[in-house]
Amino acid sequence: MAINYDNKTAKFESVIYEDDVVELRDFLQGNAGDEVLFDFSECEDAHLAILQLVMAYKQNYECSYQFSDNKKIFQILLEGFDTSENHCNQ
């Protein structure tokens, strides 16, 4: 398993494939409304479907990220996501 869940933390390790989408969705639905930590410090890459779930959660609820010192493309995407430009809730 490439994503480990502990309380309100999702720890991403190695490469995260599309196969992990449903389990991540269930984790996020179970924690809806709570602040969640997305720990990408040991992640090498993540499928776009995974990143979309993370961004959707950020749009609606509080969350924080943890990254490694070695910047990855998905980090740039997540840090650059501006929830004020998303009009899903209007």
Q: Please give the pLDDT value at position 80.
A: 87
Segment-wise mean pLDDT, segments of 10 residues, the chain, 90 residues: 93 96 98 97 97 94 96 92 61
d(CA 30, CA 27): 5
Q: Quickly name the fold that domain 3-85 has.
A: Transcription Regulator spoIIAA (3.30.750)
| Cβ–Cβ under 8 Å, residues 13 and 20 | no
Q: Please give the pLDDT value at position 56.
A: 93
Give whole-number Cα distances, 68 to 13, 33, 43, in Å: 11, 26, 8
Q: Please give the pLDDT value at position 64.
A: 96
